[in-house]
Amino acid sequence: MPPGLRKFALTVHLTSSVGWIGAVAAYIALDVAVARGQDAQTLRAAYLAMEWTASFVIVPLALATLLTGLVMSLGTKWGLFRHYWTVISLLLTVFATVVLLAETRTISYFADRAADPATSDEGLRALGSTLVHSVGGMVVLLINLWLNMYKPRGLTPYGWRKQHEQRSALQRSRQDEQPKVSQP
């Protein structure tokens, strides 16, 4: 990948992944308000804001992070399956995205109940929160952030094979470049 394109892709990837973390932090604040709240108007507002935040901010950022992460891994020296940290990062991102997409149904259900004027104050208080999922999601995102910042060592078997192939090719090209000395 040319350097300019790589920097652009990295910028988009960092923006979406850090944005995902920030959006989840905002979502957790709303989730805490729901878990601790007793005021019906606060609960209604928080449930509606949680749905909008999840649907229009968190899900698009999650999908953008997944897509740009694939682009970055395939377009750089790190590769997608060469290092354990890239494989783990991919698996965690896919896992977090799948759980997020499944959890949006619950979030939408809560928001629909909160938007319905027929839902009583007691009915709102009984809905519950998604705090376990949102905090768990934040932990997964922070682990991914750590992996991508520190890039712990460790090649996969595929990575070892590719590294060996590259070294062998480099040695062959060096041997081919050496001048042939004739024997007397």
Residue 180 pLDDT: 63
Task: Say if 181 falls within a structural domain.
Answer: no
Angle formed by the axes of helices 131-150 and 84-115, to 10°? 150
Q: Dihedral (C-alpha) 28, 32, 35, 37: value to the nearest 10 degrees?
A: -140
Q: How many domains does the chain have?
A: 1
Task: Say if 184 falls within a structural domain.
Answer: no
Task: Say if 21 falls within a structural domain.
Answer: yes
The position carrying tokens 């004739």 is 182
Residue 38 pLDDT: 86
Query: Cα–Cα distances in Å, from 112 out to 30, 43, 105, 119, 127?
Result: 16, 12, 10, 10, 11
Task: Say if 133 falls within a structural domain.
Answer: yes
Q: Answer positive or negative: Cα dihedral of 106, 111, 113, 119.
A: positive
Q: 62-86: per-residue pLDDT in tens?
A: 999 999 999 999 888 888 899 999 9
Task: Say if 179 falls within a structural domain.
Answer: no
Per-residue pLDDT of the chain (184 residues; tens, 9 = 90+): 888 999 999 999 999 999 999 999 999 999 999 999 889 999 999 999 999 999 999 999 999 999 999 999 988 888 889 999 999 999 999 999 999 999 999 999 999 999 999 999 999 999 989 999 999 999 999 999 999 999 888 888 888 888 888 888 888 888 877 766 566 6
In the chain, the amino acid numbered 81 is: F
Residue 1 pLDDT: 82
Task: Classify residue 3 as exposed, middle or buried by CB count within 10 Å of its CB (0-12, 13-18, 19+).
Answer: exposed
Task: Say if 180 falls within a structural domain.
Answer: no
Residue 77 pLDDT: 83
83 has which bridge partners?
155
Provide the residue range defining the domain that includes 16: 3-171
